[in-house]
Chain A
Amino acid sequence: MKRVIELTINGSAYDVVISPQDLLIDVLRQKLDLTGTKKGCGQGDCGTCTVLIDGRRALACLTLAIACEGRQILTIEGMEKHGVLHPIQQAFIDKGAIQCGYCTPGMVLSAKALLDEHPAPTEHEIKLGISGNLCRCTGYVKIVEAVRDAAARLQAAADCGKGA
């Protein structure tokens, strides 16, 4: 049975008609044109569909849309604020952490979940934090560097905020 639910995505409310078996990935991509979230395997193995639900990492290809009612969903489209990239996004560009770009949205969101929880992660924590996201292009070296750099940027911004 189809029904209308309200989803809160990147701070905006959307009314969507869904079937109970509809997956979040398909609702995002096909019904809402939020195509920044990628489908790499559809089986929860590659991490390209990573989004944050109530601040926690979730795989949109394994998540039923209906289960997301009343929860805060963050997709890659919600990372940029007023045309300014999030420091994690900027670090990915500056450090050369992007090649084909297919893993990038999921990777950035995994990095955000990690840094929200561990603002000063060790190298191992960074690798662990992104280990659910496959990247076939980079060998991860520059992605790890970018996450480390993003942590420093966020820390500097936080320190600056305290001083003010």
Chain B
Amino acid sequence: MSGNGRQFNVVGKSVPRVEGADKVRGKAVFTDDMRLPGMVHGKLKHATVAHGRIVSIDVERARQVPGVLAVITGEECAKPYSVNNYKPSEWPLAKGKVVYCGEAVAAVAAMDEAAAERAVELIDVQYEELPVLLDPREALSRDDARIHDWAEHNIGYEGVQQFGDVDDTLEKSPHVVENSFYSSYTHCGFLEPQSTLADYNTGTGLLTVYTCNQLPHYLQQTIARTLDQRMEKIRVVIPTVGGAFGGKTEATPSCLVACMLSRQLGRPVKITYTREEVFHQNKGRHPAHMTMKMGFDNEGRITALDFDCLLDGGGHSSWGFVVMWFIAALTHLPYKLPVVRYKGKRVYTNKPTPGAQRCLGGVQVRMAFESMLDMGAAKVGVNPYDIRMINAVEAGYKGPTVIEVRHAEFKKCLESVASRSGFVEKYGKLPYGRGIGMAGGHYSTGGAFLLYPSFRPHSTAQLRVDTEAGVTLYIGATAIGQGAMTVLCQMVAEELGVDYREVHLVCQDTMLAPMDNGTYDSRLTYGSGHAIKNAAADIKAKLFDVAAIMVGAGKDHLECVNGEIRSIYEPNRKVAFKKAVYQYLSSVGPLFGTGEYTPPQPKGDYDGKLIGPSPAFGFTAQAAEVEVDLETGQIKVVGYWEAGDCGKAINPMSVEGQVEGAISMGLGATFFEEMVVDANGRMLNPNFHDYKMPTALDMPELQTEIVASYDPTSAYGNKEVGEGPVGPVIPAILNAVYDAIGIRFTEVPLKPEKVLWALGTIEAPAERRLHVSSESTYCARRGCAPDGSSLQEP
């Protein structure tokens, strides 16, 4: 039964990637691989100060360099931009002032890269330096040194959500725990540097933009608005994307500048970032200073949460207000939370701007929340596994917000990791220095509202079936390495009974493919699934009129399987799919089908309500076993278990790859990754040598499992999988380290020196205030470890 129930022919199979052969042969074309006739090269000049007024820019010497065709500055820029055009602050080239070191201030186009580089060096920019604010806590108190004139106290966004009487509930709760946390300043770390090839056609006025971006339709809007170019005269084409992880959801200055230069010169202009420029462009994770106060009843049920979250926003607006409210929304799952107050602030600082990174908002919340759960469990006197089971949400859960959980197998995930890791047997009983920790998580499957104000469908699919191209799917979806192309082809194949490798896919092109909200918030497979199913139903409704006569069965009794259209009841009554298509084209005409999808629109009346509700949520539970080397401070992960509820896995092999990749990103953030700026705001590690990401040697053995699940609200039972699994990694490790040595680390990355500082083996530098705390319950529970005396007081 194709698509009507839980039996599938193609969906649910671990088939290889449709684009795999191109990628493994080096034939997949990434933007920087492209070259067009007459193409020239662009290069950006970057600010050398983190905060300063631009006094003058002298471009004369740059213009004299042989081969230089154009030099532009912020004076040529029409408008600033930001995500959703909410508090736009960023210009293609800085105008008036720079707000972080590395911000683009001028650009050159030249016949070759060498000439462009020489010219950029000769641009002379004079700055009047302004106070550099690097810590959001300091920035808040420096209204005298506003980073943006309109941002009082440097606050970009702030908001409060309150459900119930938090103070009263906490007052009456028998157990209350409180702690502060700091999540670090990490970078998406995609391997393909951003690249744009802009091609303005002076004859037609059409600007074609080839670039690596996750949201081509949204980028088209940004270009239109920022460069005063009509939408219909912009075509965004996305070649192969070499990783994105949220960091390619926005326009880069280089993309907009390439468009400006191409329009000025009337020839194709390519700009590809160096790795250093990628780090300065950043748009990775928001560092968060978080304080949580959580109450529990005597059984371990959470009674209330008071949550303060201060986000370090860097120089520009980016996804700031979305991150601030998403953190609030993600607090409400995967545990029942009846009473909660969230106070969020996102503050500008003079650092490269954080934006969206995989599991946006979830990493910060989970780090704090899951640590608090373990602290609460110790206080109440229950096992960390039990406290999670007691509070875990189930299908049908609706808390105080507009967020509704229509389907959940979170408890199955918790049960699976607990039993596979031997959690209950090991917890608190391993030798000192060795410990086990657990954490849960979830993520939304696309928001309920569009990124840009509009009421049109979020996902659209068009199918064309004929004898010339066979089956062709036109869809606005963008593949960023997650395997979207393959699963979309699997869905079409499922519906029309053709081989998934035979489906032609036209996507990543705003002119050829219909509008789509974009690849973010794990929305693609769910939304596209519905749209594809609807488009295929449209095709079948038309085609079966003809096929029914050919087969000699009622049109409602037909299905498409294995290249045939056949009667459900008498499978021998059948006709070849191609033959029916030929007949349809000859007797009726062209065969097109259209489908769309828009998530349910929840109603509510509180600030930030638009961000958080989702048609479905994926869930994950993880456990880590660690060994702490007390002499070196090194932490070794000796076991790692995960169980995930992604609904029906369309392609289990791809799901495993997503989960494994997500965990590796989480482990990087736990142990190594942190962008570091000096006292002047200059980044000290804008390269992969000093910004450490996990290599194959750093990875522990990962034992992942897809739990049996099917979300009936979804076209194929599927839900989110690619983002949620990043979230629990940090707290699973932090909880395991606590179990091992009785020290609760509340900041990452957890470098060996921090472990030694905390153990008292070596003295921490005076200026280094380490986020760690300890709980008296540890010694009692362990019957006081021999090294218990070395534990620090909170």
Residues of A within 8 A of B (CB): 29, 33-43, 45-46, 48, 75-77, 79-80, 85, 89, 92-94, 96, 98-105, 108, 126-128, 130-144
Question: Across the interface, which residues of A come within 8 angstroms of B240, CB to CB?
Answer: 100-101
User: Known: A98-B17, A102-B242. Is A139-B660 also a contact (CB below 8 A)?
Assistant: yes
Contact between chains at B192 and A38 (CB < 8 Å): yes
Cα–Cα distance between A136 and B660 once the two chains are bound (Å):
10
Contact between chains at A93 and B16 (CB < 8 Å): yes
Chain B: minimal CB distance from A158 (Å)? 22
Question: Across the interface, which residues of A come within 8 angstroms of B699, CB to CB?
Answer: 127, 139-141
Contact between chains at B191 and A100 (CB < 8 Å): yes
Contact between chains at B192 and A77 (CB < 8 Å): no
Contact between chains at A43 and B688 (CB < 8 Å): yes
Cα–Cα distance between A40 and B17 once the two chains are bound (Å):
23
Say yes or no for B24: interface residue by CB 8 A criterion. yes
Using A99-B243, A139-B702 as known contacts, list a sample of 16 further A-B pairs with CB atoms less than 8 Å apart, ordered by residue number in A: A35-B32, A38-B192, A40-B242, A42-B275, A45-B689, A92-B24, A96-B657, A100-B240, A100-B242, A102-B481, A104-B23, A133-B695, A135-B696, A136-B190, A142-B653, A142-B656
User: Known: A100-B480, A141-B699. Is A35-B189 also a contact (CB below 8 A)?
Assistant: no
Question: Across the interface, which residues of A come within 8 angstroms of B189, CB to CB?
Answer: 136
Contact between chains at A93 and B24 (CB < 8 Å): yes
Cα–Cα distance between A77 and B28 once the two chains are bound (Å):
11
Which of A36, A45, A80, A100 interacts with B243 by CB under 8 Å? A100
Contact between chains at A93 and B664 (CB < 8 Å): no
Say yes or no for B482: interface residue by CB 8 A criterion. yes
Question: Across the interface, which residues of A come within 8 angstroms of B16, CB to CB?
Answer: 93-94, 96
Say yes or no for B1: interface residue by CB 8 A criterion. no
Number of B residues, CB within 8 Å of A: 56
Contact between chains at A37 and B26 (CB < 8 Å): yes
Cα–Cα distance between A93 and B14 once the two chains are bound (Å):
11
Chain A: minimal CB distance from B114 (Å)? 9
Contact between chains at B33 and A46 (CB < 8 Å): no
Cα–Cα distance between A55 and B241 once the two chains are bound (Å):
30
Chain B: minimal CB distance from A97 (Å)? 8
A-contact bits for B6-39, CB 8 A (1 contact / 0 none): 0000000010110111111111111011010000
Contact between chains at B243 and A137 (CB < 8 Å): yes
Of B28, B242, B662, B693, the most chain A CB neighbours within 10 A belong to B242
Q: Which residue of A lies closest to B27 (CB)?
A: A36
A-B pairs with lowest CB-CB distance, top 4: A36-B26, A100-B481, A101-B23, A102-B242
Question: Across the interface, which residues of A come within 8 angstroms of B657, CB to CB?
Answer: 96, 99, 137-139, 141-142
Chain B: minimal CB distance from A11 (Å)? 16
Chain A: minimal CB distance from B692 (Å)? 10
Which of A76, A102, A126 interacts with B192 by CB under 8 Å? A102
Cα–Cα distance between A29 and B693 once the two chains are bound (Å):
26
Q: Which residue of A lies closest to B702 (CB)?
A: A141
User: Known: A40-B191, A96-B654, A136-B189. Is A75-B26 also a contact (CB below 8 A)?
Assistant: yes
A-contact bits for B740-784, CB 8 A (1 contact / 0 none): 000000000000000000000000000000000000000000000
Judged by DSSP, the binding face of B is loop
Contact between chains at B243 and A43 (CB < 8 Å): no
Which of A37, A43, A85, A96 interacts with B25 by CB under 8 Å? A85
Cα–Cα distance between A36 and B26 once the two chains are bound (Å):
4
User: Known: A94-B16, A96-B653, A101-B242. Is A143-B696 also a contact (CB below 8 A)?
Assistant: yes
Chain B: minimal CB distance from A45 (Å)? 4
Cα–Cα distance between A51 and B242 once the two chains are bound (Å):
19
Contact between chains at B697 and A127 (CB < 8 Å): yes
Interface residues of B in 29-84 (CB under 8 A from A): 29-30, 32-33, 35
Which of B23, B30, B663, B687 interacts with A43 by CB under 8 Å? B687
Q: Which residue of B lies closest to A48 (CB)?
A: B191
Question: Across the interface, which residues of A come within 8 angstroms of B654, CB to CB?
Answer: 96
Say yes or no for B665: interface residue by CB 8 A criterion. yes
Cα–Cα distance between A140 and B111 once the two chains are bound (Å):
40
Say yes or no for B529: interface residue by CB 8 A criterion. no
Contact between chains at A41 and B24 (CB < 8 Å): no
Question: Across the interface, which residues of A come within 8 angstroms of B20, CB to CB?
Answer: 92-93, 98
Cα–Cα distance between A132 and B699 once the two chains are bound (Å):
14
Q: Which residue of A lies closest to B479 (CB)?
A: A100
21 contacts across the A-B interface (CB closer than 8 A): A29-B33, A35-B32, A36-B25, A37-B26, A40-B191, A43-B688, A45-B275, A79-B25, A89-B25, A96-B653, A100-B244, A100-B480, A101-B19, A104-B24, A131-B696, A134-B695, A136-B665, A136-B693, A137-B481, A139-B699, A140-B699
Cα–Cα distance between A162 and B192 once the two chains are bound (Å):
42
Contact between chains at A45 and B688 (CB < 8 Å): yes
Contact between chains at B696 and A140 (CB < 8 Å): yes
Cα–Cα distance between A139 and B23 once the two chains are bound (Å):
18
Cα–Cα distance between A138 and B658 once the two chains are bound (Å):
7
Question: Across the interface, which residues of A come within 8 angstroms of B14, CB to CB?
Answer: 96
Contact between chains at B25 and A77 (CB < 8 Å): yes
Chain A: minimal CB distance from B192 (Å)? 5
Question: Across the interface, which residues of A come within 8 angstroms of B24, CB to CB?
Answer: 85, 89, 92-93, 98, 101, 104-105, 108
Cα–Cα distance between A98 and B18 once the two chains are bound (Å):
11
Question: Across the interface, which residues of B come within 8 angstroms of A76, CB to CB?
Answer: 25-26
Chain B: minimal CB distance from A47 (Å)? 9
Interface residues of B in 481-529 (CB under 8 A from A): 481-483
User: Known: A100-B192, A101-B240. Is A41-B687 also a contact (CB below 8 A)?
Assistant: yes
Question: Across the interface, which residues of A come within 8 angstroms of B653, CB to CB?
Answer: 96, 142
Chain B: minimal CB distance from A95 (Å)? 8
Question: Across the interface, which residues of A come within 8 angstroms of B663, CB to CB?
Answer: 139
Cα–Cα distance between A89 and B663 once the two chains are bound (Å):
25
Of A45, A89, A98, A101, the most chain B CB neighbours within 10 A belong to A101
Of B24, B189, B243, B695, the most chain A CB neighbours within 10 A belong to B24
Cα–Cα distance between A93 and B663 once the two chains are bound (Å):
22
Cα–Cα distance between A75 and B193 once the two chains are bound (Å):
21
Q: Which residue of B lies closest to A75 (CB)?
A: B26
Question: Across the interface, which residues of A come within 8 angstroms of B21, CB to CB?
Answer: 85, 93
Cα–Cα distance between A155 and B193 once the two chains are bound (Å):
37
Contact between chains at A105 and B689 (CB < 8 Å): no
Chain A: minimal CB distance from B675 (Å)? 15
Chain A: minimal CB distance from B672 (Å)? 12
Say yes or no for B563: interface residue by CB 8 A criterion. no
Question: Across the interface, which residues of A come within 8 angstroms of B85, CB to CB?
Answer: none
Say yes or no for B608: interface residue by CB 8 A criterion. no
Cα–Cα distance between A100 and B240 once the two chains are bound (Å):
8
Say yes or no for B661: interface residue by CB 8 A criterion. yes
Question: Across the interface, which residues of A come within 8 angstroms of B22, CB to CB?
Answer: 101
Cα–Cα distance between A126 and B654 once the two chains are bound (Å):
22
Say yes or no for B274: interface residue by CB 8 A criterion. yes
Question: Across the interface, which residues of A come within 8 angstroms of B100, CB to CB?
Answer: none
Say yes or no for B427: interface residue by CB 8 A criterion. no
Q: Which residue of B lies closest to A88 (CB)?
A: B24
Question: Across the interface, which residues of A come within 8 angstroms of B192, CB to CB?
Answer: 38, 40, 100, 102
Q: Which residue of A lies closest to B664 (CB)?
A: A139
Interface residues of B in 242-276 (CB under 8 A from A): 242-245, 274-275
Chain A: minimal CB distance from B524 (Å)? 15
A-contact bits for B646-683, CB 8 A (1 contact / 0 none): 00000001101100111111000000000000000000
Cα–Cα distance between A132 and B21 once the two chains are bound (Å):
23
User: Known: A36-B26, A136-B245. Is A128-B697 also a contact (CB below 8 A)?
Assistant: yes
Q: Which residue of A lies closest to B668 (CB)?
A: A136
Cα–Cα distance between A36 and B23 once the two chains are bound (Å):
9
Which of B17, B26, B245, B482 interacts with A105 by CB under 8 Å? B26
Q: Which residue of B lies closest to A36 (CB)?
A: B26
